[in-house]
Amino acid sequence: MPQAGALDLYDEPRAIVEALLDRYIGPNPPDLAKMPFVPRIHAALARTDLAIDPVINAGETRISLIRVAPTRMVDDKRSTVEARFRTLDVEKSVVFEFDRTSGDWLITNIRHAGGITLRTLVQIPPPR
């Protein structure tokens, strides 16, 4: 039986997205190096100089009106979480993709409208 307040394994991706996006409410954007990305994304972020924040795909890093949908399981090691928020006066919808092969849920990609993804922004080729 889970402990009171403990998250179910499949609720963790949603909780991660909520916590991550909550950091964008304040005046200082979160440190990308401390986000729960897979190692390949961390390495790409370290060598890429971006004019926009790749998590929210915007130059203005303050967001509001955050809504996060429940986790959708792809299989027992992969999941997605859709989130909506506003930056300036623009409503945005993003899908966070997670993988749990290392034991922890880590973000493998973020899909923005118009086919833009975190992986394309940091120039990582799609998996084969």
Residue-averaged pLDDT of the chain? 87
Query: Does 125 have pLDDT greater than 70?
Result: yes
Domain count, the chain: 1
| Residue 126 placed within a domain | no
| Residue 33 placed within a domain | yes
- Indicate the pTM of the whole model: 0.89
What is the residue type of 77? Answer: K
CATH number at 59 reads: 3.10.450
| Residue 127 placed within a domain | no
How high is the pLDDT of residue 67?
Answer: 96
| Residue 3 placed within a domain | no
Show Cβ contacts of residue 38 under 8 Å, excluding neighbours closer than 6 positions: 99, 102, 106, 107, 108
Q: Distance (Å, rounded) from C-alpha 12 to C-alpha 8?
A: 7
Q: For 49-104, write each residue's pLDDT tens digit.
A: 888 889 998 887 889 999 999 999 999 899 999 999 998 888 999 999 999 977 89
Q: Which residue range(s) make up the domain with 47?
A: 12-121
